[in-house]
Amino acid sequence: MARSPSPTFAPPLSHPALPGRVSRPALQVTGFGLRGWRVFTVAATSAALIGVAFVAWTALRIGGDQVTIAVDDIGEAVAAFAAAVSCGLAAYRNSGRTRLAWAFFATSAISWGVGEVVWSVYEVGMGVSVPFPSAADAGFLLAIPLGVAGVFAFTSAPGRLTTRGEALLAGAIVAISLVFVAWSLGLRAVYDSSSASPAAQLIGLAYPVGDIITITVLVLALRRARKHERGRMLLLLGGLAANAFADSAFAYLTANGTYDAIGSLLDAGWVIGYLLIALAPIWPATDHEATAAEGPIELWQLALPWVAVLAAAVTAILLASTDQALDQFSTVLAGSIGILLVGSQVLSHRDSRSFLVKSQRMENQLARRTSLLDEIITHAPLGIARVGPNMKIIDVNPRMAALMRLGANDVIDTPVARYLNPDEFARVAELFRPLWKGEVDTIESDSNMIRPDNSAVWLHWSATTVRNAAGRVEYFLAMYEDTDAEHAANEAALAHLAGIERLNELKSEFITLVSHEFRTGLVGIQGFSEMIRDSDLPVDEVKSYAGEINKDAERLNRMINDMLDLDRIESGRLTLRIEPVNVNLALHGAVERAHASSERHQFATDFDSTEPIVHCDADRLTQIISNLLTNAVKYSPDGGVIEVTSRVKEGFVEVSVRDHGVGIAPEFVKRLFSRYERYEKTSGKVIGTGLGLAIARQIVEMQGGRIWVDTTVGAGSDFHFTLPMQTAKASAV
Amino acid sequence: MKTPTRVLIVDDDAMHIELLTQYLAGQVDEVRGLTDSREVETVFREYQPDLVLLDLHMPDPDGLEVLRRLRGARLSLGFLPVIMLTADAGHVARNSALILGADDFLTKPFDREEVILRVRNLLHTRQLYVDAKEGRTER
C-alpha cells in the first residue's frame, strides 16, 4: 500500500525548540507515510459514498425495519473495525509515542466494535431490544477513554511549566464551560426527570461526561496541531466529534427512553465518525524539512478555549432571556469559569512579561554588541570590506577606504575587478570558488591592489562567507592587511642579493682575466730572460731579447695603472686637472704616435677648422684618444685607413675614430664600456686589461660628455665621444 | 728515411712566436710562424706541417674556430697533432679545445723544457704513424 518502504519513515518525535520564541511542542501525528493524494482521494471518496449510502438506507428503511436494523448495526461494527485496522496499521508503521497513540485509537475502535457486536447479537441475532445497561455499554464507554488517551499520546510533553499550567487551565475552562452548556440545555432536565435506576442513570451520564472530556481534549489537541498534520488531526478529531455527537444523542434518547426508530438515523454519526478515523492514517505525509521552521501558535488556536467560554456566556444569556434561573450547580460552574479565567489571564501576563523582559535584555545586549563591533570595525588597523555575491563592494571601513585612497562612499557598489589586473582577478575569482560551494570557511592570499590613482599596494587578505538563513551567500567578509613594506623589503633584499651575486661573478671573471693577462705578459719576460741566462748569445741578440722583456714589463705596468685608474675613478678619488685644451692639437699628437707604432695603417685626419677648446684634463684626453686609436689599430689587422675627425656640434666637440676592421658583435656593444665585462670566452685577443673603454667612459662622463660606438661586424667600428666646449670668448684664446 | 719535421706556430703575438722558435731551434727541422689566424687554412695546406702550435686567444677566428676549420684537413692527413697555447687555466676552454681535437696544452708563460718535451713526443708519435702508413704501402 505504501509506495516507499516504511523503515526510512520514522519521523522525529520532537523538533528542536526555536530559540528566543515561546512556542508549544507541536503535535506529531504521522500515519502510513504515504506521499501524494491519490490513495487518500480514493479512500475518502469511498468513505463518503459509504456514508451517504448508509444515511440513505437508514433514512429510507429499504427492505423493512428488520433489514435496516441489521444494516445499521453491522455497518456500525464494520466501520469501527475498519478504523481499528487502519489505526493498527499506522501503529505498525510508526514508533515511540506515535505508535502508542495509534494503538490507543485502534484499541478504542476495537472496544467500540466489540460493544456493537454485542449490541447486534441482541438486536439482530436474538431479535430482542437491548437492555440498558448491558455488556455493550462497557465496550462503548471504554472506547471513550481509549480515544482520549490516543489524542494525549500524540502530544509530546510541554517543555515549559507555564505552558503546562496554561494547558491545564485552558482544558478546565473548556470542560467546565461545556458542562455548563450541557447542563443548562437539557442534561439537568434529563437527570432530574429520569426514571431509570441510579446505576443506569450514572452509566447514562457517563456518555455525555465522556463526550465533554473528548471535546475538551479535541480543542486542546487542535491548538497544538502542526500545520502539515492539521488535516490528519481534523479527520481524527472530526471522527471523535461525530462519535461524541452520536453518543450524546444516544444517551439523551436512552435516558428519555425514546431511543428507537429515529435512533437509527443518528447512528450515522458513529459510522461517519469511524470512517473519518479510518481515513486519518491515510492522510498523505509531507516533508519535515520544509516545515521545520514553523511559526508560533496561531491566533485562532489560542482563541479556541474562548469559544467554549463564549458558548457558555451565550447559553447564560439565552437562559436569562427565557426567564430561567441558574440553579446552584450552574452558578458554581460559572464562578469556577470566572476564577479560571483570572488564573489564565495572570499566567499569560506573567508569560508575556517574562518574554518582554527577556527580549529587552537581548535587545540591550545586541545594541551593546553592535556598537562594540562598530567601534572595532571603524578603528581596526585592518581594512575590512563586505563584498556581494556579484563581486561588487557593498561597503568598507575607514581603514580600507584609506588603503584604497578613496572616500568610503566612492567605493560602494564598485566591482572588485576594478582594483585588480585581469589575470589577478581571474586568480582571485578561482580562489573564491570553494568558498562559494561551502567547501572551505576561509580563504587567504596576497594580491597587488591597483588604486584608482594607478598606484599599487600589496595586500594580504582573507575572506569568509556570510550566509543567510536559507544557506545562500549573502556577502563575503574580507579583511586586508597592507604588506607593501614587507613586499618592498623582500624585493629589495632579493635585488640586493642578485646584485651581490652578479658582483661576485664579475669579480671571479675579473680575477680570471687578470691572471690570464698577467700570464700572457710574463711570457716574454720569463722566456727571454731564461734564454739570456742559459745561452751564450751575441750582444745584439741579447739586446733584442731585453727589448722584448722591456715591452712585456711596460705592458704589465700599463695594466696595473689601468686597474688603479679605474679603481680611483670608481671610488671618486681621481682628481682631474681641468684646463683649456685645444682638441685638435691633442688629436694631432696622438695620431702621430699611433702612426709611428703601426706602419700598416694610414691615418686620415679631418679636424674642425675653429680649433675648438674644451675645458678638461689634457693628459686624460690624450689617454682616451690613444686608447681609441690603439683599439682601431688592433681591430683592423689588415691595416687600412683610420679616420680621425673633430666637429663642433651644439656647444660640444665631437671626436670620432673610425676603422674598417672586424667590428663588434651587437650583443657585445652594450657591455663594451662596462668594467670587467669585456671578455667573452671565445672573443678575440685581449688588449691590455680591457679596461681602457671603461676608463674612457668614466673620464668623458666626469667632464660632462658622452661616449658611444657605431659598429658593424666585418665593416669596422666608429667610436665617438663629446666634451662640452669652452664659452665662445674663451675659445678665442 | 726520415722526412724533415715542420712545425707551424699560430699566435697573434709575434714575440711569442719568436720565443717558441728559439726554443725549438735544433729540435725540429723547420718552424713557420703565423700571426694572422685568418690565413691558417691556406698556410696549412701549402706548408703541410707535422705539428701545429695554436694560440687559443686571438682576434677572429680564435683558436677554437681554427681547430674547427682544420678538422677536415687534419683527418685527411691521418694523425696530425695540435698543441694549444693558452694563458687560460679555465677548464671550459680546455675541454672545448679537446672536444675539437686538440692533443695537448702548453700554458703561458712557457717552460722551455716542457715545450721541447711535448713537441718532441708528439712529433715522435706522428713519425710512428707516418712510418706505419708508408710501411704498408711498401708491402
pLDDT of residue B52: 95
Question: Is B101 part of a structural domain of the chain?
Answer: yes
* ipTM entry: 0.76
pLDDT at residue A105 is higher than 80: yes
Range of the domain at B106: 6-138
Which residue of chain B has the CA closest to A549?
B15
Mean per-residue pLDDT, A61-78: 82
How confident is the model over A689-695, as a mean pLDDT?
76
Q: What is the pLDDT of residue A142?
A: 87
Comparison of pLDDT for A712 and A194, the residue scoring more: A712
Position A636 pLDDT exceeds 70: yes
Q: Within a domain: residue A360?
A: no
The pLDDT value recorded for residue A147 is 84
- Tell me if B16 and A523 make a contact (CB, 8 A cut-off): yes
In a domain, B44, yes or no: yes
Q: Is residue A393 part of a domain?
A: yes
**Domain count of the fold of chain B:** 1
Residue-level pLDDT at B60: 73
Average pLDDT value for chain A: 80
- Do A519 and A609 lie in one domain? The reply is no
Residue A400 lies in a domain: yes
Q: How confident is the model at residue A262 (pLDDT cuts 50, 70, 90)?
A: low
CA distance A652 to B50: 59
A262 and A405 part of one domain: no
- pLDDT-derived band at A686, boundaries 50, 70, 90: very low
Q: Which domain holds residue A87?
A: 6-19+28-292+300-350
Q: Which residue has the cell 662640452?
A: A724
Q: Phi-psi bin for A611: left (phi > 0), alpha (psi -120 to 50), beta?
A: left
Let me know whether A226 and A125 are in one domain.
yes
Q: Output the pLDDT for position A196.
A: 64
Are B58 and B13 a contacting pair, CB within 8 Å?
A: no
Would you call A97 helix, strand, or coil by DSSP? helix
Please identify which residue in the block is written with the cell numbers 476564577: A339
pTM of this structure? 0.43
Q: What's the whole-number mean pLDDT along residues A115-124?
A: 86
Q: Which residues of B touch A682 (CB under 8 A)?
A: 62, 64-65
CATH number for the domain spanning B89: value is: 3.40.50.2300
Please indicate, yes or no, whether residues A139 and A11 belong to a single structural domain of this protein: yes
Contact B59 A551 (CB under 8 A): no
Residue A680, SS3? coil
One domain, residues A511 and A443: no
The tens digit of pLDDT for each residue in A448-503 reads 999 988 898 999 999 999 888 888 888 999 999 999 888 889 989 999 999 888 88
**Structural domain includes residue A355:** no
Segment among A49-53, A195-199, A419-423, A648-652 with least mean pLDDT: A195-199
- Name the residue facing A520 among B59, B60, B87 (closest C-beta): B87
Q: A346-381: per-residue pLDDT in tens?
A: 888 888 898 899 999 999 999 999 999 889 888 888
Question: Looking at residue A183, what is its pLDDT?
Answer: 79
Contact A523 B65 (CB under 8 A): no
CATH number for position A632: 3.30.565.10
Q: What pLDDT sits at residue A15?
A: 39
**Are residues A591 and A515 part of one domain?**
no
Arithmetic mean of pLDDT, A11-26: 40
For residue A513, give the chain B residue with the closest CA. Answer: B88
Q: Do residues A553 and A648 both lie within one domain?
A: no
Number of folded domains that form chain A: 4
Q: How far apart are CA A208 and CA A691, in angstroms?
A: 126
Q: Does residue B1 belong to any structural domain of this protein?
A: no
Measured distance CA(A337)–CA(A335) in Å, rounded: 5
**Three-state secondary structure string covering A24-76:** CCCECCCCCCCCCCHHHHHHHHHHHHHHHHHHHHHHHCCCHHHHHHHHHHHHH
In this prediction, what percent of chain A has a pLDDT beyond 70?
Answer: 85
Mean pLDDT for chain B overall: 87
Q: Do A520 and B59 touch (CB under 8 A)?
A: no
Say yes or no to pLDDT of B123 above 90.
yes
Tell whether A57 and A88 lie within a shared domain: yes
Same domain, A68 and A205: yes
Q: What is the mean pLDDT of residues A525-550?
A: 89
Give the whole-angstrom CA distance, residue A297 versus residue A26.
9
Residues B48 and B84 sit within 8 Å (Cβ to Cβ)? no
pLDDT confidence tier of residue A653, bands split at 50, 70 and 90 = very high
The answer to whether residue A675 scores a pLDDT higher than 80 is no
Q: Which pLDDT band holds residue B130 (cuts at 50, 70, 90)?
A: confident
Q: Is residue B124 part of a domain?
A: yes
Q: What distance in Å separates the CA atoms of residue A313 and residue A311, rounded to the nearest whole number?
A: 5
Residue B81 vs residue A285, higher pLDDT: B81
CA distance linking residue A145 with residue A50, whole number of Å: 27
The answer to whether A530 contacts B112, with C-beta atoms less than 8 Å apart, is yes
At residue A228, the pLDDT reads: 65
Task: Say if residue A437 is in the same domain as residue A469.
Answer: yes
The answer to whether B93 contacts A520, with C-beta atoms less than 8 Å apart, is: no
The Cα of A463 is separated from the nearest Cα of chain B by a number of Å equal to: 55
Tell me if A373 is assigned to some domain.
no
For CA atoms A512, A513, A515, A516, give the dihedral sign.
Answer: positive
Res A193: pLDDT? 66
- Are A84 and A160 contained in the same domain? yes
Q: How far is CA A296 from the centre of its chain?
A: 30
Per-residue confidence (pLDDT) for residue B136, from 0 to 100:
61
When pLDDT is cut at 50, 70 and 90, the band that residue A685 belongs to is very low
User: Does A512 lie in the same domain as A589?
Assistant: no
